[in-house]
Structure 1
Amino acid sequence: MRTKRLTLAITTAVVAIALSGCSIGLGTAGGFSRSGTLAGPVDGIDLDGASLSVGSKNFTEQILLGKMTVILLKSAGADVQDLTNIPGSAAAREAQLAGQVELGWEYTGTAWLTYLNNAKPIPDERKQYIATRDADLRENNLVWLPPTPMNDTYTMAISAESAKKYKITKLSEMSKVPPAERTFCVESEFTNRPDGLKGMLEAYDLPLDSPKGIPRENLRTLQTGAIYDATAKGDCTFGEVFTTDGRIEALDLTALEDDRSFFPKYNASLVVRQQVLEEHPEIEKLFAPVSEKLTNEVIAGLNAEVDVDGREPSEVAWEWLCDEGLVR
């Protein structure tokens, strides 16, 4: 976490310098997004004449959320600058603080621990949202709209074969696996951060480098995308995953329940600059139905359409909004 914060601070400083000397905008790859007519619970919301900018980070879930935002705002009549696909959290955050991005989706855990520099997460997701919301409004004039049910956090996953063999569904049941078979595929960052592998193993009474826990030789370090495939193939018994990743279902993995609530909560919220929301309060009503519908299952399915099926995020976002009766 200390390294992550230092990296964030350095990157933020560099981005701030770049933003201060550049008036032509961020170098994103927003691309094309459709627009239609608002329908259902958002029918009649009018943002005609509003000029708004939308940002997102550069991974699938963020781009999907950003595209939903662009589509709904355009369909409400707003003139929208699409700044989705910004490289990295630090750049996306600095762009919003600097006013280049006015709306973007963010995660409570990321903001509370990294942007707002708190040492420990708040286990209760509602309390963490409230604390993050209040602090970011007070310190940065950013308004956090009500959060989604989705929680994009860490856990361990096992293959279908391992699920059948060991009959486990919770992290507390990892101890049922014979010691020699407690093998893990993880990212290098996950092995070093305090809210990562070492802390998790201690929380579940399987300390790293302990005869009663996990020997270091049982760890295999891989890139994020490779972990899912390696776990599904049985190269390791446990694989580090994100709970909303569409590859969990696509590869028939079982995400183990964090039944001791070790990992921080990462609920997503649409974050809007305070001045923008004061000028256009309709934005909150426009996105309320979206936030209510975005469960882990829903966003994981949408992520899979992009990461597994190879579809364009803007088309997946458009189709989902149509299916949910929010645009036509």
Structure 2
Amino acid sequence: MNVGMRVLFRTLFLAVLAVALVTGCSKGGAGNTVQLGYQPTSEQEIIANMLKKLIEANSSLKVEMVGGLGGTPVVLKAMQNNDIQISAVRYVGTDLTSSLGMTEFPKDPAAAFDLVKQGVKEKFDQEWFPSYGFDNTYIFTVRKDIAEKYGLKKISDLQAHAAEMKLATDAGWLERTNDGYPAFKKEYGLEFAKAIPMDIGLVYKAVKNGDVDIVLAYSTDSRLKEYDLVTLEDDKHFFPNYTASPVVRNDALKKHPELADILNKLAGKIDTKTMTALNYQADVEKLEPAEIAQKFLTEQGLLQP
């Protein structure tokens, strides 16, 4: 190899090395970049875009989005590995049962929140921030005609009618011990005529089409709005609290203390009805999550138009 070729290869090698070093600097929250992780749902992607926009508008930090994290255990592992420093959305009930491995915890939302906040701090050195304001929990939902026919407003109202009604729910809930069907029947003193296991994505159409009378759904799912369904109040607080919050590694907060005030700008700003409407914009109206985030933050006065 002649001198010219050796110089060329050396130059290319150094260029590649420089790119690798720059890329490496952003990993692990180094330099002026933080990694923000989220799961593959409209809800999480919308919130993640809100956080990115708020952080970049109110600090000198750059946010690298890390999407497609398939569940809370994956998110937790990514945070423990420092692949991400911020989790856009974590749910109280999920972390209590999954991350902290608890089988019993308070029904009172405030007590459950305090428990997960303290537990995540002690076990993982992560800070659980105040809730956005919405609760993505299990809910029973029916068509309006069924609600009107039986005068249904809360789950206890089903006691006189459940024996005539067909329920559709995901298969896992029928077998879970602590917050599944067996415990539910005991808590509310009722049993449906038939409980049909079904993929969660199919239950909404099943109740809309009259194939079943009632379904177990998620409280911020856009299809509640799309199909104009009526949700029933969990008046005995059977289901765990699934209020949503951002969670941040404490070493990232020490390095970038400005993050605390920025993330708290969204505390209490998004109730369950609002989150359902935002999901509807993504899932039904097919708007981009970044566009939805921008519009919401602007309307709230958190971003300049």
Report the TM-score when normalising by structure 2: 0.85
Give the Cα–Cα distance (whole angstroms) in 2 for the partners of residues 65 and 122 of structure 1: 27
What do you get for the CA RMSD once the two structures are aligned?
Answer: 1.7
Alignment of 1:32-47 (within 5 A): none
Q: Secondary structure at the match of 1:255?
A: strand
Give the secondary-structure state (helix, strand or coil) at the position aligned to 1:293: coil
Any conservation in 2 of the 1:109–1:121 contact (CA below 8 Å)?
A: no
Q: Which amino acid aligns with 2:34?
A: L
Q: Does the 8 A contact of 1:110 with 1:266 survive in 2?
A: yes
Q: Which residue of 2 aligns with 1:52?
A: 34
Q: 2:223 corresponds to which letter in structure 1?
A: R
Q: Which of residues 228, 231, 236 is equivalent to 1:252?
A: 228
In structure 2, what is the Cα distance between the partners aligned to 1:175 and 1:265? 23
Distance 1:150 1:51, change over 3 A: same
Structure with the greater alpha carbon radius of gyration: 2
Give per-residue Cα distances to partners, 1:15-66, cap 9 Å, x unaligned.
xxxxxxxxx99xxxxxxxxxxxxxxxxxxxxxxx731110011122112111
| 1:270 maps to 2:270 | no
Tell me the residue number matched to 1:201: 185
The equivalent of 2:106 in structure 1 is: 122
Q: Give yes or no for the alignment of 1:163 onto 2:141.
A: no
In the TM superposition, 1:56-95 aligns within 5 A as: 56-76=38-58, 77-95=60-78
Q: Does 1:152 pair with 2:130?
A: no
Would the aligned equivalents of 1:191 and 1:198 in 2 still touch at CA under 8 Å? yes
> What letter is aligned with 1:126?
A
Listed as ranges, the gaps of 5+ residues in structure 1 are: 1-23, 26-48, 207-212
How many residues of Structure 1 are paired with residues of Structure 2 in the alignment?
Answer: 273
Letter in 1 for 2:251: Q
Q: What are the equivalent positions in structure 2 for 1:1-328 lying under 5 Å apart?
A: 50-76=32-58, 77-104=60-87, 105-177=89-161, 179=163, 181-194=164-177, 195-206=179-190, 213-215=191-193, 218-328=194-304
Kept in 2: contact 1:227–1:239 (CA 8 A): yes
Cα drift, residue 296 of structure 1? 0.5
Distance 1:96 1:160, change over 3 A: same
Q: What is the one-letter code of the residue matched to 1:69?
A: L
Query: What is the TM-score when the length of structure 1 is the normalising length?
Result: 0.79
- Which segment is superposed worse, 250-259 or 317-326? 317-326
Segment drifting more, 259-268 vs 276-285: 276-285
**Counterpart Cα distance in 1 of 2:241 and 2:162:** 30
Letter in 2 for 1:222: M
- CA–CA distance in structure 1, aligned partners of residues 162 and 84 of structure 2: 50
Is contact 1:305-1:311 (8 Å) kept? yes
User: Residue type matched to 2:131 in 1?
Assistant: P
Deviations along 1:162-212, whole A, 9 cap, x unmatched? 112111111111122262x31101111111112122222221101xxxxxx
What are the superposed Cα offsets for residues 138-167 of structure 1, whole Å, 9 maximum, x if unpaired? 111101111232111101100011112111
Runs of 4+ in 1 over 3 A off after TM superposition: none
Instruction: Measure, in 2, the Cα distance between the counterparts of 1:96 and 1:276.
Output: 11
CA distance in structure 2 between the partners assigned to 1:225 and 1:239 by the alignment:
11
SS at match of 1:85: coil
Q: Distance in 2 between matches of 1:300 and 1:237?
A: 22
* Secondary structure class of the residue paired with 1:122: coil
Partner Cα separation in structure 1 for residue 230 and residue 271 of structure 2: 17
Q: Any conservation in 2 of the 1:67–1:84 contact (CA below 8 Å)?
A: no
Using the aligned pairs only, state the percent identity: 25
Q: How far apart, CA to CA, are the structure 2 residues paired with 1:168 and 1:62? A: 31
Q: What is the SS of the residue equivalent to 2:282?
A: helix
| Residue 39 of structure 1: aligned partner | none
Q: Is the 8 A contact 1:155 1:240 kept in 2?
A: yes
Q: 1:196 to 1:86 in 2, by over 3 A?
A: same
